[in-house]
Amino acid sequence: MAEKCPACGSCGMPLEKPEDYALGDVTRPYCRYCTDARGELLPYDQVLETNARFYVESQGVTPAAANAMARAMLADMPAWRGRN
């Protein structure tokens, strides 16, 4: 099997290189897209919007479908688990 790399605890993005991590710090649990300039985790709604936009821009799905898929993706992530 391919060598496993860690994944962002918020969105699941593979963390392959130091620059993928918040502040380029490989000890941090989240990626650079899910964190602010201080390396802190962004609010859920902002992470949701970023992920939904990724679906829309890449495949042209409707905003509603993108939002539902992003919600499903985030639901089991350690950062958001247990959230309604």
Partner 1 sequence: MQAATRREQKVVTRDRLVNAAMALFARKGIVATTTADVARSVRMSHGVVFLHFPRRDDLVIAVIDEFGRRLAVEFRQAFEQNLGLRAVLQAHLRVLAEFEPFYARLVTEAPMLPPKVRSTLMMLHAAVSARMFMALERDRKAGRARKIERPLLFNTWIGLVHHYLVNRDVFATGASVIAERGDTLVNHFMTLVRP
Distances (CA, A) of 55 to 7, 38, 59, 75: 19, 27, 6, 16
15-34: contacts with partner 1 (CB under 8 A): 16
By the rule CB under 8 A, 14 interacts with partner 1: yes
Q: Looking at the chain, which runs of residues are DSSP E strands?
A: none
Contact stretch for partner 1 (CB under 8 A) within 22-30, 31-39, 40-48, 65-73: 65-73
Beta bridge pairs of residue 41: 35
Could you say which of 27, 38, 60, 84 contacts partner 1 (CB under 8 A)? 60
The DSSP call for residue 39 is: S
Binding residues for partner 1, rule: CB under 8 A, are 1-5, 12, 14, 16, 54-55, 57-61, 68-70, 72-73, 75-76
